Amino acid sequence: MPGQDEKSIRLARRLRIDQTDAETVLWNRIRNRRIDGNKFVGQEPIIGYICDFVCRENASSSKSMAASTMNRPRMRSEMNV
């Protein structure tokens, strides 16, 4: 998205590649407009956070911090968590 800082974008791209097993399972269930025809994107930087899954069409998002990012020490340190 325009205006996002480069650090957040780099981190989001890395998180997309390095998904947890739970994120992969969920992504496979929601991708390709499988939920009521809504399109989801993964690992989207939004106002200083990186949401795991975002539906831009109806402005909903999901962040599973405890199940994903918090278990990645290097990611936590980059996010200053």
Distance CA 64, CA 69 (A): 8
Q: Is pLDDT of 3 > 70?
A: no
Q: What is the pLDDT of residue 47?
A: 81
Kindly give, in sequence order, each residue whose CB lies less than 8 Å from that of residue 44, ignoring residues fewer than 6 positions away. Answer: 1, 12, 50, 51, 53, 54, 61
> 14-73: per-residue pLDDT in tens?
988 888 898 889 889 888 888 888 888 888 888 878 888 888 887 665 555 444 444 455
Q: What is the pLDDT of residue 74?
A: 53
Nearest by Cα to 65 from 76, 57, 77: 76
Q: What is the pLDDT of residue 81?
A: 44
- Say if residues 61 and 54 touch (Cβ distance below 8 Å): yes
Q: What is the pLDDT of residue 57?
A: 80
Report yes or no on whether pTM surpasses 0.95.
Answer: no
